[in-house]
Chains A and B, each alone.
Chain A
Amino acid sequence: ETGVTQSPTHLIKTRGQQVTLRCSSQSGHNTVSWYQQALGQGPQFIFQYYREEENGRGNFPPRFSGLQFPNYSSELNVNALELDDSALYLCASSLGTGGAKNIQYFGAGTRLSVL
């Protein structure tokens, strides 16, 4: 069974640039969620994709957008980067969206630094 993989592991960008982060879900999982984890904080939910459709969104501005592909892999795009966007971005996949199916299996994350 293949776990959740994310790329790249580290990324440095400057303010105003755009970034794309990638996630491959665990085998058999059709749901992907993205989280932002600032230093010393818990993961904050950005949005979730279920079968290629957005299935819920946290309190993040529209410049945070995403996609899910037919193979259930996913992208997180952030436009007009701000210094406060510096964080660890975690992707998690799950079997589905209901009950025990929504147990989140995390990737190792992408560390984004905005200078």
Chain B
Amino acid sequence: RKEVEQDPGPFNVPEGATVAFNCTYSNSASQSFFWYRQDCRKEPKLLMSVYSSGNEDGRFTAQLNRASQYISLLIRDSKLSDSATYLCVVNKAGRRALTFGSGTRLQVQP
């Protein structure tokens, strides 16, 4: 079983839709959590960190449930430019080794 698991998708949604991605992690020692987005053949780009209290950045909302070892990302009012692969990333306490999920592909259609 992978340490960080994501639904690979693809999620095909129309512009303006709300879409949610889920991620589970297996190591309870995990301390830091992030969402990155990656466009085809490009580098991963930090979308947002995920805090215990949940956090929002414009159309993006991230939630963390430590008890269930579950992270989510909600995208509201999807834009064509949101089409990308969304990577859930976890770091264990005391380590400098970010672990990536396999990513969820989002395709926003006109």
Real binding pair: no
